[in-house]
Amino acid sequence: MALDPNRWTLKTQEAFNAAIGRATANSNPEVTPDHLLVALLGQSEGVVLPILEKVGASPVSLRNRAEDELGRLPKAYGSEPRLSRDLNAVVEAADAARGELGDEYLSTEHLLLALADRLELTREDLLEALRAVRGSHRVTSQNPEDQYQALEKYGRDLTEAARQGKLDPVIGRDEE
């Protein structure tokens, strides 16, 4: 099931396509977890960046570290890159996380959980942040990110805006 792209979310498919494209552009013989990590960190609309923000990790420093690793990879010309053994292990671990969470599709948050050791983050912290970001929603479609943080995406926190003094005062209440 893990390597069946029909059971991946759209963001997971985009991340893998970007990782393969990056490996091809760099003339790397294998697509590694670092290629995937750079692709995940490049998704501005995904769920990965909000999860990393919740755990206090810096996406920029994580990306820079992964970019440094990519610069050290060997180059080979004339063939298409294949998935590395490490990346296959990450996908298998992500599929196991998908099963643990009761999700139907392999999503980017599952890949992030599988990359926890590489990111030097604890799986427990990532799971807690994941629950805060996606709430009780399960991944039951190929585009689950639309369901996450709907209030933050489409609403406005008036209480927080008032605390920061960003609301205009009420007109006509000078006498009170």
Contact 106/23 with Cβ under 8 angstroms? no
Average pLDDT along the chain: 86
Report the amino acid identity of residue 49.
Answer: L
pLDDT of residue 150: 54
pLDDT of residue 156: 75
Q: Which value, to the nearest 10 degrees, does the dihedral of the CA atoms of residues 87, 88, 93, 94 take? A: 70
pLDDT of 162 over the 90 cut: no
pLDDT of residue 151: 56
Contact 130/48 with Cβ under 8 angstroms? no
Q: What are the structural domains, with CATH classification, of the chain?
A: 5-163 (1.10.1780.10)
Question: Mean pLDDT over residues 82-98, rounded?
Answer: 95
pLDDT of 152 over the 90 cut: no
Q: What is the pLDDT of residues 117-141, one digit of tens each?
A: 889 999 999 999 988 887 777 776 6
Q: What is the pLDDT of residues 6-30, one digit of tens each?
A: 889 999 999 999 999 999 999 999 9
The angle subtended at Cα 137 by Cα 132 and Cα 143, nearest 5°, is 110
Contact 21/42 with Cβ under 8 angstroms? no
Contact 94/106 with Cβ under 8 angstroms? yes
